[in-house]
A and B are shown apart, each in its own frame.
Chain A
Amino acid sequence: MHVAPLWSMFAVFGALMVLTVLTVAAIQIDLGPMWNVILAMAIAVVKALLVAAFFMHLWWDRPFNAYLISAAVVFVALMLVYILVDTDRYSDVVGEGDGVNTLQRATQ
């Protein structure tokens, strides 16, 4: 049994609150849609790591629990990448131009 040190709990909570204020403040800065969302996600990842490592005890646990949850996150990220591969590769409007939409074409 490992008991988490008291100071670490409050330190992590303080860091989480600071990062929350930071992410709200950072969105006011105009970095463009791409970098704003990347910055917001980077801050969120740091917060998530803090919660997982210390509040959820992964830092002191045997590493297998961390492997498990990391694998889940990695596979979600992998699927995200493959889904975003063909973003913006499609016509914005289905069937525009001939007055026949996809459903009608399929039933013709």
Chain B
Amino acid sequence: MSDHEHHGPDNLAHHFESLEQQTEANKLGMWAFLVTEVLMFGGLFLAYATYRANHFPVFEYCHWFLDTKLGAINTAVLLASSLTMALGVRAAQLGQQKLLLGMLVLTFMGGVGFMGIKTIEYTSKFKKDLYWGQGNLYYPVDKKNAYYDKTVNADLGPDQERFAWTEQDKLYRIYELENYYFHYKKGVDWFTPHYIPPEYRVDPEGYADHGGPAEPPPPPVVSVEAPSAEAQAAAQPDAEAESVAEPVVGLAGMTSSDIGTPAIGPQGMTAGVLNAGFTGLEPDHGHRTHFTWDTLPDSEKQRVHIFFQIYYAMTGLHGIHVLVGMGLIAWVGVRAAGGAFGPTNFDAVEIVGLYWHLVDLIWIFLFPLLYLIH
């Protein structure tokens, strides 16, 4: 068993030559794990970017339901806990046992503060019936409707009005849901993404005149390019014979209005990004577009839940990471109280610190993306 003899400090594993090599290997392993964390959150950031680029009005409207002040405070809390964690690692390296324990306790308290504020935020969402999943089938109430109870919210300004929910509001919301359920029972699948009930459709083709799904309109004329004058002239004599010229090639069910007009600016990705804020609107070249329920495009009113779905997914996964980090800090803290760490043995503190800093890093991006939409 001579191979397994200890030649160095107690905490040096026999397959490492030196403490320094052991520390390097431990940190490399943690960084490899952090890479997978970045990729996991990356998927959520991609979902966020796609939906925001395609449905910016939804994001602009919905982000007003988040409390920027609480979000900013949470950012500060998490940054401060990152500082105490870094100071804790430093204390461990220098063998300052009491300072290390104090820093770990402060860091843990930072996590408690963050989750406490998060709880306040989530609770306020739940009170407004903003949930995730199936509970997130959420359609805000048009305050101009008769169901708005002025006597309850008379003292609220116009900005707060839409945050105040009365029993009548809830009734109306359920009525709306039942209405959609009614559509569903009639055979129209409103679970289909982007489905718009007939009464909300903006229909240049005169589809609404045909009475909705019960009576489908005649097959749409599909034309990718407008027919030239000669082609139209050539088609004229045939019109009487009821054999309308077949339209130019296109996808079935696609109308010319679906193809849309070319985006302003360079083509391709850049055009998409340039137009990211103007979906469904005239480009307004930088002026503030503040959406209310009234100015939100009709098609986007059906997608309000998308924002909260993404909000809960991103902040929820982040919150789980905070809880895991708090557990790790508690574990390291208990060991630190027993005097386990010192200049030759601080890897556990440093690695837990790396995890905690990554949680901070994710929040640094989540805060402006969710709370500061413009």
Contact = CB atoms under 8 A, between A and B. Distances in A.
B276 A34 contact: yes
A89 B210 CA distance: 28
Contacts of A100: 216, 253
B54 interface: yes
Nearest to B365: A44
A16 B78 CA distance: 11
Contact of A88 (B53, B205, B212): B53
A55 B85 contact: yes
B90 A79 contact: no
A48 B365 contact: yes
B364 A51 contact: yes
A101 B194 CA distance: 10
Interface in A44-76: 44, 47-48, 51-52, 54-57, 61-62, 64-65, 68-69, 71-73, 75-76
Interface residues of A toward B: which range?
35 or more
B46 to A, nearest CB: 6
A88 B279 contact: yes
Nearest to A92: B299
B162 interface: no
B195 interface: yes
A1 B272 contact: no
A71 B35 contact: yes
B27 A65 contact: yes
B15 interface: no
B86 A4 contact: yes
Contacts of A90: 54
A30 to B, nearest CB: 5
B42 A103 contact: no
A94 B189 CA distance: 12
A6 B76 CA distance: 20
A95 B196 CA distance: 10
B93 A101 contact: no
B45 interface: yes
B310 interface: no
Contact of B269 (A33, A81, A102): A81
Contacts of B272: 84-89
Among A24, A75, A105, find the residue whose CB has the most chain B CB atoms closer than 10 A. A24
Interface in A1-27: 1, 3-4, 6, 9-10, 12-13, 16-17, 20, 23-24, 27
A29 B272 CA distance: 23
Given A33-B374, A101-B195, A75 B260 contact: no
B83 A32 contact: no
B273 A84 contact: yes
Contacts of A20: 72, 75-76, 79, 367
A6 B201 CA distance: 62
A58 B54 CA distance: 37
A72 to B, nearest CB: 4
A52 B360 CA distance: 10
A40 B350 CA distance: 30
A36 B288 CA distance: 11
Contact of A80 (B45, B94, B207): B45
A37 to B, nearest CB: 7
A52 B23 CA distance: 18
Given A84-B269, A88-B272, A27 B260 contact: no
Interface of A: 1, 3-4, 6, 9-10, 12-13, 16-17, 20, 23-24, 27, 30-37, 40-41, 43-44, 47-48, 51-52, 54-57, 61-62, 64-65, 68-69, 71-73, 75-76, 79-81, 83-105
Given A48-B365, A96-B201, 10 more contacts: A1-B93, A16-B79, A17-B76, A33-B276, A37-B374, A55-B82, A65-B27, A73-B38, A88-B279, A98-B217
Interface of B: 20, 23-24, 27-28, 31-32, 34-35, 38-39, 42, 45-46, 49-50, 53-54, 56, 60, 68, 72, 75-76, 79-80, 82-83, 85-87, 89-90, 93-94, 188-189, 192-196, 201, 203, 205, 207, 210, 212-213, 216-217, 219-220, 252-255, 257-260, 263, 268-269, 271-280, 285-289, 299, 343, 346, 350, 353-354, 357-358, 360-361, 364-365, 367-369, 372-374
